[in-house]
């Protein structure tokens, strides 16, 4: 059974339809990259999967032991978020909020989990540092550690390398790939970097005038890939 199933979903906000009749499925251990033009509804889709927005029509179905509160999320960063005055430990620990229920405090188990994720992502030396003092790459690792406090099943990443330099970008992609391949965490990532998407993804969801969903190999042999590559090369000239 799929961990996530999108059935005839129509996306939108304030009554405005962005995308109609969207269908795809994600199984445990998949690495799905979502690509396509700006304004095609990619971020709105993520927010709908997370339950932050309701679909106008259709259904999002969670299966294989997954529910929407067990999905980690790394959103696009805003300038306000980058300047957040909290320590690395406090930011990472906040990923456990969904586990607290009605408790007004974090348990020892949740604090231990935050420390584990900090160590896992090589952030031990930054644990007491203020988040806003960190570099962009360090901040993204902190937010990824926070997302991993929410789940060991599935993470959603919205442009996780936006604004990062090439080396930090490469390190971030490698880390996400390790979480997928070594730890078995299902990855759903929005990316404008088609080369990176095709390097790591098992499946591609291309949202544009038309929609493609299938394996990476199927995408490479489709007109979607050829047309999108031509558009990218034209934009980069």
Please report, for the domain that includes residue 60, its CATH number.
3.40.50.300
Q: What is the pLDDT of residue 228?
A: 61
pLDDT of residue 185: 96
User: Is 144 a domain residue?
Assistant: no
The per-residue pLDDT string of the chain (237 residues; one tens digit each, 9 = 90 and over) reads 899 999 999 998 877 899 999 999 999 999 999 998 888 889 999 999 998 899 999 999 999 989 888 899 998 876 656 777 899 999 999 998 877 766 778 899 999 999 999 999 999 999 999 999 999 999 999 999 999 999 889 999 999 998 899 999 999 999 999 999 999 999 999 998 888 888 999 999 999 888 999 999 999 888 877 766 655 555 554
Secondary structure in 3-state letters for the chain: CCCEEEEEEEEEECCEEEEEEEEEEECCCCEEEEEECCCCCHHHHHHHHCCCCCCCEEEEEECCCCCHHHEEEECCCCHHHHCCCCEHHHHHHHHHHHHHCCCCCCCHHHHHHHHHHHHHCCCHHHCCCEHHHCCHHHHHHHHHHHHHHHCCCEEEEECCCCCCCHHHHHHHHHHHHHHHHCCCCEEEEECCCHHHHHHHCCEEEEECCCEEEEEHHHHHCCHHHHHHHHHHHHHCC
Any domain includes 114: no
Give the sign of the dihedral formed by CA 86, CA 47, CA 99, CA 1. negative
Quick one: tokens of 112? Answer: 């231990």
**In-domain check, residue 190:** yes
- Give domain status of residue 115, yes or no: no
pTM of the model: 0.89
Question: Is 60 inside a domain boundary?
Answer: yes
* pLDDT for the residue 79: 65
* Residue 75 CB coordination number (10 Å): 18
The total number of structural domains that make up the chain? 1
The domain of 39 spans: 1-66+186-237
Summarised one tens digit per residue, pLDDT across range 82-128 is 777 899 999 999 998 877 766 778 899 999 999 999 999 999 999 99
Residue 136 counted as domain residue? no
Burial readout 2-15 (b: 16 or more C-beta within 10 A, e: otherwise): bbbbbeebbbbeee
Has residue 203 been placed in a domain? yes
For residue 220, being part of any structural domain is answered with yes
What local confidence, expressed as pLDDT, does residue 237 receive? 43
């Amino acid at each position: 059974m799929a961990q996530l199933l999108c059935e005839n979903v129509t996306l939108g906000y304030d009554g405005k339809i962005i995308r109609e009749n969207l269908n795809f499925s994600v199984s445990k251990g998949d690495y799905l990259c979502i690509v396509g033009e700006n304004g095609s509804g990619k971020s709105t889709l993520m927010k709908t999967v997370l339950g932050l927005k309701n679909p106008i029509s259709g259904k999002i179905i969670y299966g294989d032991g997954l529910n929407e509160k067990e999905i980690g999320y790394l959103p696009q960063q805003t300038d306000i978020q980058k300047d957040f005055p909290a320590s690395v430990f406090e930011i990472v620990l906040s990923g456990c909020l969904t586990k607290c229920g009605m408790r007004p405090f974090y348990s020892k188990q949740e604090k231990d989990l935050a420390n584990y994720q900090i160590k896992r992502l090589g952030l031990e030396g930054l644990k007491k540092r203020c988040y806003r003092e960190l570099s962009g790459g360090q901040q993204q690792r902190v937010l990824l550690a926070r997302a991993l406090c929410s789940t060991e099943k599935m993470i959603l990443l919205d442009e996780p390398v936006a604004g990062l330099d090439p080396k930090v970008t490469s390190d971030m992609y490698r880390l996400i790939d390790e979480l997928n391949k070594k730890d078995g965490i299902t990855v759903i990532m929005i990316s404008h970097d088609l080369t990176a998407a095709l390097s790591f993804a098992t499946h591609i969801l291309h949202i544009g005038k038309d929609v493609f969903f299938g394996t990476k190999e199927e995408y490479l042999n489709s007109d979607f890939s050829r047309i999108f590559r031509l558009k990218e090369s034209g934009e980069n000239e």
